[in-house]
Amino acid sequence: MLLFVGLGNPGARHAGNRHNIGFMAVDAIAKRHGFAPWRRRFQGVATEGTLGGARTLLLLPGTFMNESGRAVAEAANFYKIGLPDIVVVHDEIELPPGKVRVKVGGGIAGHNGLRSISAHVGNDYKRVRIGVGHPGDKNLVHAHVLSDFAKSEKPWVEALCEVIAENAGLLARGDDASFQNKVHLAMQARGFGKDKDADREPPSA
């Protein structure tokens, strides 16, 4: 079994936050692939279905971001899911808005959700990093990720969640490079992300 985790904070007041794009994307996967209704499990809400031919549990922790690892560990332990079969979808300030990158392991770049998960289950899980942009000043990061997407950003947010959902089967099959490429091309086809310079990741510190 695979475990796909969307990161975010519970509650209506956080629903539109940049920090909640992981919730949004995983919810889109559930809708696109006909998963069962969400129900309360593992200190959050979860649903089971099939992605890419593999039995998959989708999980949205209800623990608030900085305790996400408790929910992930409970689900992983219940189903005996190892790190290679865990996929975490989260916001990434070091990527331009709308860009998606996939990697296994690595640093947590100050992300409290990743920090909690790594502390509870280990670090070598797959991350689907969704760019939400950087406010330009590290002192503004907290307010930036906990603020809602602007009305002008909604079109690319909705399009990106749809595109991620459409191609989630590739992630489930471990074809990360094809997933990343197809998301990029699909967003371009929809009129987003055509600035080639904006497609480059910032240099590593």
Over residues 120-156, the pLDDT tens digits come to: 999 999 999 999 999 999 899 999 999 999 999 999 9
Indicate the residue type of 91.
D
Neighbours of 62 (CB within 10 A): 18
Identify whether 19 is a catalytic site residue: yes
Give 86's strand partners: 3
pTM of structure = 0.92
The separation between the first and the last C-alpha atoms of the chain, rounded to the nearest angstrom, is 36
More confident residue, 108 or 121: 121
Q: What is the pLDDT of residue 110?
A: 83
What is the per-residue pLDDT across 156-175, written as a single tens digit (0 to 9) for each? 999 999 999 999 999 999 99
Active-site residue among 14, 19, 111, 134? 19
Q: What is the pLDDT of residue 79?
A: 97
Q: What top-level class would CATH report for the domain 2-194?
A: alpha beta
* 46 close to 56: Cβ distance less than 8 angstroms: no
CB contact set of 200 (below 8 Å; sequence gap of 6+) = none
